[in-house]
Structure 1
């Protein structure tokens, strides 16, 4: 199994998108001209929001439909910090206010169900120097003062798609989690060659033969609303049973979280772009209709992110249906012009077996009030402790045992 290369910047934008964004960036927007304000009616900036979310470097997790689905499902009011130059929106930071330990935290909607966050920035914005970064920080703090004590932008790559994040100077601490990606090529064989082509191909053929021996399978992608929502409910059952098997809490158990993902299924698509599409391995023959593996993919531009996955090993577990599903989805993504297959945050063996790149993420903390200034070092210490535990196999195993016992109790 290869070890992913740890990089802060491993992917550039697609050539066509690069050309469009370079064209729009010929006129450099100066940060000194940006007027930063608090927006309490996010519907009023939908047009600007959708224009900025289309930019290649901006994460799909700050997309309008993603944030709206989250807010509606959890009943949370959303706001935004917007930077404008005249009539033009230069950047938008979608936020929600979440109370934590007695302080009001302004954070990206989506919580830890987001895999990578950037905010939304016009590519024409120049890169601010250190002094300007502090000026921006103070302006954001002033704008948020009526509603928040601390702004926490988590899981932000300081460099992404060939460019440095405009607010990289506000990076407070490295997040305890990294994210993992596989670069894609139009030629699927060239993509798999990054992962030891002969071994992977041999494994795929063996998996296929094992399933063919019990009647075969198909790659099932539901098309009707009823099929989509039924398959998502199957995922929730599968995941719950799998987590219970390992004594871990079900992070999808809450009805609000399930509602969020059901809403994403109903969100509009744009060509190949979609907030959520379900894929599965469905058995044929004597086990016809049995769903052996499920995954949910999101796509924006040439960036595909796996949001979740599950397996059911009650039938032919030796065929590794989860591995087979990833093979199938990655092959399809190559053929459909994607450049990145993103396995998201969290260090797991199956991700390392597929990925050649590892992206370092940071948290950006901006105190707004005295409470926020007191809370900032405490949150930083908490992140360091989590990172230390995850970096020590023995400590992490012990922490997982305690977590299992607490959940069982």
Structure 2
């Protein structure tokens, strides 16, 4: 299989399999009415997925699953199980208590989709093209994650239909992974020995440590923005004058603009270096955090443009962190390093997702996103210190 085709298939599979991630978030308004739950309780429909992802990533790291088994099979099995959990929620869940375990399991299985997809994409990418390849993968993640908003916004579908559609799309991705995808030639498919300790020992190495710190600052902002931007838009004075429903606006500004940002960020990291590309994206998204109170009161055209810039910037650097870590970490344990990175990053998202509505209840949605600004600021400092092209330095491992 030719590398460009293989990378395109990996990206396509990510779009399909990750459609279940925010599937419930897209129908939260309907669930709140039908299940009679508060906004604080509804937060856990997203928080449970993030916690499940953390648990799944830790388990995957402990067992070295991405390095010890064929990654395309790990991805296919994980995606199929996540789709089944989402379908079960659509068919059998009638309360928050029934939904939360299924959302937790969905997140746990998704830990075998996204990080493993990174490993597969890297395996089909030479070093000089890896930034663009990771940008393509992150564009796929963005579109897949925001896809349920498009499904929900295209018509007045029952929430069960939205979830069932996302589950069906995810199952198609799982079958495609099992049948079509294979690992490429640029990374070892399996680890020569089990070394779960590398999830911690990589923090003793300068390159992986700084790449991880940059990623953690990025994650503090990203998923809290994706989760709460619909509420921000609906609370704004311009809400009634938006040219489309909030779901469609979110898909266009966070999904489509975000995917373009990923591609631009990947190209920039190859052209100008990992660190400069990340610092620019972090600076723009951090500025958006600070400017959000002004955009909140702006007219619909300015608000849409602002959200599109923010949607592009907030995700543009994500592939840069994955690329930097895949280059700076021990090549034998790249899968373990990437999975550990995402586990810690997603643990942070649980905190930031919970904080935003608390701040909004206290001082209003106009100022709620200000608490996200420290993340991109600290991330920019770490990535500037990292340098433009980190490389793993061979040393003896015990």
TM over 0.5: no
Structure with bigger strand share is: 1
Bucket of the pairwise TM-score, normalised by the shorter protein: under 0.3
TM-score, normalisation: structure 2: 0.25
Structure with bigger helix share is: 2
TM-score, normalisation: structure 1: 0.24
